[in-house]
Amino acid sequence: MMVFRMLRPTVVGLACHVGVPECISEVVAVFKKWITNPSSVPKPHPDLRSIVYSYGTYVKAVFCCLFLSADSVTLFQQ
């Protein structure tokens, strides 16, 4: 069990780093669930917390930038 706990962050981190869609979507789902209701949803597991925070905030930031840039293009076209 100890080996699993030690390898889990490495495996998940590598999977997200190389762009495995299932990994990224799961990590982002955990982040979104926690960020939308932090009082009732526990923080991500300590082993995976840094990965969840990094990819969750990265994907959220990219989405916000794309949304804002698309919105600003629409505003300038009017």
Region 19-41 average pLDDT: 87
Crossing angle of the two packed helices 49-77 and 2-17, in degrees rounded to 10: 20
pLDDT at 18 over 90: yes
Confidence band of 74 (pLDDT split at 50, 70, 90) = very low
pLDDT at 61 over 70: no
Residue-level pLDDT at 22: 93
Region 34-49 average pLDDT: 86
> How high is the mean pLDDT of the chain?
78
Cβ contacts of 39-47, under 8 Å, gap ≥ 24: 47/5, 47/8, 47/9
Tell me the two tokens of residue 13: 């981190």
DSSP assignment letter at 41: S
Distance CA 54, CA 28 (A): 9
Which residue range(s) make up the domain with 26?
Answer: 2-77
Please tell me the total count of domains within the chain. Answer: 1
